[in-house]
A and B are shown apart, each in its own frame.
Chain A
Amino acid sequence: MLPFFLRKLLRLILVLLLVAAATFLLLNLLPGDVALSLLGNEATPAAIAQVRAELGLDQPLVLRYLHWLIGLLHGDLGRSYITQVPVMESIVDRLPVTIELMLLSQGFALLLAVPVGVWCAYKAGSRIDRLISSAALLLLAAPVFITATVLMFLFALKLRWLPSTGYVPFIASPLSNLAHLVLPALAIGLSEWPPLFAVLRADMIKTLQQDYIALAKAKGLGPAFILLRHALRPSSFTLVTVSGLQIAAAITGALVVETIFGLPGVGRMLTGAVYNRDMMLVQGCVAVISVGYVLINFGVDLIYATLDPRICR
């Protein structure tokens, strides 16, 4: 277990270095200048040069990168170019909102995908299976901003069941917190469940043709027991993989959804930071997101080991 863990840790560090380097390069290739967005279009070249010097932007790219890396090792992600607030602080402030949103949306997606996937695999080829599969394909094609807008229009503006925008911390009022997060999470969840459903259904259909399922039937076990206790676990490897990737990729959904529903999460902060050329903030967000990404995949590997005893060898 320990060497396994160390290997994963080493990979995490490598991934981080690469991601940080790539982000540095990409953002510096983008047109635009943070000094210009700070001072406005009327700024004199002298003023711009001064601001650039203050922010350390006049230094070579490699030096800035190394400087940032050394800070990272101390848990310091630098200060925002615009607000001068430590990046770490801003992220720690907003991260809980995004994590809650990602977990809730993935929870919705799984809650929908697993029972429906199992049922459709059991009834594969039937009319209801074909109907649900087509509906899933349709939802897969619907971009998240459409689902988000439709949900908001329906449940917040027309029916007035749920608030349309805003956020209340969980500690302040758990119920109100959930009320604000249900629609955004549902919007992401609805666009995330079709792939989960599709892979589970396909794997489950294959599993149901296995001899050990025939043996389970020959034991006199009922269909519910066979589906859930015999077939689900060996059918869920792809599901877990896709789910892990989705939780991590949900950040892209969060960028859009947090902006639409006015949630103060990392996604919305990142969107703003990119517009403002606030390199330090973008860099920090990307670093945190990539750590999360690798950690989630690490968690997926651990889940594999519990799902299939053959992996532990």
Chain B
Amino acid sequence: MGHLTYEESKSKALKIILILAAITLLEVIFALAAKGYIIEGFHLPTWLVAGVMIIMSIVKAYLIVYEFMHMKYEVPGLVKSVLLPMLLLVWAVIAFFSEGNYWKNNRDTLNKKYEEKIDTKKIIPTGYLDDTDTSLMDRM
């Protein structure tokens, strides 16, 4: 604030909320259109739909944080201390989603592995243990 008069900030708030509402409506229409609800038999690939949705959501997030929460008018130090930690999420999304994808691709193999049984009697520990101590074998 400070930079805008009362009247100016009032009309600005109205402008931003209308943009947010328009983007939201656009998102819903796009989501439905991509699945053939609006034009029969018209489909778009999931990655394209997801990409466009994510970009539109980030624009909405920007408007909320910078305009409604007044991040635009804070000093650079505060802005950086709040926004830079969010970069960690970029790593988290990539790491976890690739893990999820690995799971999907290897589901059959993994399921087979889980059903495998290990015959613990056949495992003979060497060194360290004497015959009476079976605790290690139990744990296996």
**Is B one of A's binding partners?**
no
* A residues apposed to B, CB below 8 Å: none
